[in-house]
Amino acid sequence: GSAPPGDPVEGKHLFHTICITCHTDIKGANKVGPSLYGVVGRHSGIEPGYNYSEANIKSGIVWTPDVLFKYIEHPQKIVPGTKMGYPGQPDPQKRADIIAYLETLK
């Protein structure tokens, strides 16, 4: 299905609860995962200084809101072999909120 409208304020809270274990929302600050600053509209696998899996680099994905909506639900299904060690967020509203927050990071 397609994404419901997202709430960036709620999404910021969710990001800082869930994604922050492995990602930052700060430009250039990579952790276990790449910085997600500016990720919306970015091609997969191009954050400088981050050592991506081959699966991510070769996926050919551009992280549009629609693709992110599916990826955050089930990363391993959208990018088989990704080293993103997160099982996925089943709640569509929470995914939409996180994406609404990611869209503010530019």
Q: How far is the CB of 1 from ligand HEC (least distance, A)?
A: 18
Buried residues in 8-19 as b, exposed as e (16+ CB within 10 A):
bebbbebbeeeb
Q: Identify which of 66, 63, 62 has the alpha carbon closest to the alpha carbon of residue 3.
A: 66
> From its phi and psi, is residue 38 left (phi > 0), alpha (psi between -120 and 50) or beta?
left
- 60 — phi, psi (to 5°)? 70, 15
Q: How far is the CB of 37 from ligand HEC (least distance, A)?
A: 10
Q: Identify which of 50, 52, 55 has the alpha carbon closest to the alpha carbon of residue 81.
A: 55
Nearer to ligand HEC, 21 or 104 (CB): 21
Give residues in contact with ligand HEC (CB under 6 A).
Answer: 18-19, 21-23, 32-34, 36, 39, 44-45, 47, 52-53, 55-56, 63, 68, 72, 82-86, 89, 98
Q: How far is the CB of 21 from ligand HEC (least distance, A)?
A: 4
Nearer to ligand HEC, 1 or 61 (CB): 61
Q: How far is the CB of 56 from ligand HEC (least distance, A)?
A: 4
